Amino acid sequence: MKAAIIGGTGYGAIELIRLIQKHPFLNVGTVISNSQAGTNFSESYPHLTDIVTQPLETFDAERINKENDIVFLATPSGVSSRLVPDLLDKGIKCIDLSGDFRLKSANQYESWYKHPSPSENHLSQAIYGLSEIYSDNIKNASLIANPGCYPTATTLGLIPALRANIVDERSIIIDAKSGVSGAGRGLSLTAHYAEINENLKA
């Protein structure tokens, strides 16, 4: 299968390309970056010069559908919700790496993400992509909401204990910490070494 990647110059996309290159049934297809369309991928990541040879392209749902079998969206929060409806209308499967389709409630989404939610129809259509738990649902899904790192680690760690009935679910407290790699390539004061080194923020 050929896999298109939207948001092609971010850290998520780079890791995705690395995984696809090792995958026996996937090849990198169209790579979309509206901000850098027309440039070679190697200008952003020289170490991938011989791996991704095609230039970056702008978003065109029709062309993506004709040239690819599946689409990964490695975009910032709020972007996937605008692009996915067009892709689904063309009949192409979408796997969203952002948080746009992880929550079923529009109110909860807007409370956490601080911008308008995707349509209720698409929120309800999305399958939560935790393959260890929902593999049967994922097989036939058109829209998969890739789970984040915190809920994946937490859920997979807790499920065996809860199923064995050795933990009182009312007693569970999740205390999670993260580095700054998840902040992406964009520069900000909160990801600056001098600000974050040996520091901890809620």
Catalytic residues: 149
* pLDDT tens, position by position, 96-132: 999 999 999 999 989 988 888 898 889 999 999 999 9
Cα 153 from Cα 155, distance rounded (Å): 6
State residue 176 phi and psi, 5-degree precision: -115, 145
CATH 3.40.50.720 range(s) for the chain read: 2-149
Average pLDDT over residues 72-99: 93
Name the residue among 136, 88, 81, 133 with its Cα closest to residue 110.
81
Residue 20, pLDDT above cutoff 80:
yes
- Looking at residue 18, its pLDDT comes to 87
Residue 147, pLDDT above cutoff 80:
yes
pTM value is 0.86
Q: Which CATH architecture fits 2-149? A: 3-Layer(aba) Sandwich (3.40)
